[in-house]
Amino acid sequence: MTVQTTYRLRMPWARPPLSANDRRHYMARAQLVAQVRVTAGWVVRAARIPPCSRVTVGLVYVPPIRRKRDGGENYADTLKAAIDGVVDAGVVPDDTPEYVIRLMPVVAPVDRDNHGVFLTLEVAP
């Protein structure tokens, strides 16, 4: 019987740093992607998640205030860079479908007390 462990890691951003609606210069965007990747890698390392055979990764954005927002698919770029950070942390050897299952990013209901960006990892041994 396989036991899966789920981690919910708070990322140090108030909102996802990358969005499909961004209109940045490609070099500024590349720097931001690299920052997201490195940050995610360090957060995963700090959580001491052991190497595994397969991981399911998702991104949850919990906004602090209620207003009209697009759906979670806008934050797929942040999720992609964060998955690269998970690989950099050594949790899985590569980000191919053989090792990583990607969940669509989610915009959760407003929570004024516990808002932010969370990376969820479900690890299979």
Q: d(Cα 94, Cα 113) in Å, to the nearest integer?
A: 35
| 10, 122 contact by CB (below 8 A) | no
Q: For residue 62, is pLDDT > 80?
A: yes
Q: Which residues have CB under 8 Å from 97's CB, separation 6+?
A: none
This model's pTM is above 0.85: yes
Residue 2 pLDDT: 61
Structural domain boundaries, residue 28: 5-124
Q: Which residues have CB under 8 Å from 25's CB, separation 6+?
A: none
What total number of domains does the chain contain? 1
Q: d(Cα 33, Cα 25) in Å, to the nearest integer?
A: 12
Residue 81 pLDDT: 97
Token pair belonging to 14: 């108030």
Tell me the CATH number at 51: 3.30.1330
Pairing of strands 106-107, 54-62: parallel
Q: For residue 30, is pLDDT > 60?
A: yes
Neighbours of 108 (CB within 10 A): 13
Could you give the C-alpha distances from 48 to 15, 44, 51, in angstroms and in order?
Answer: 24, 7, 9
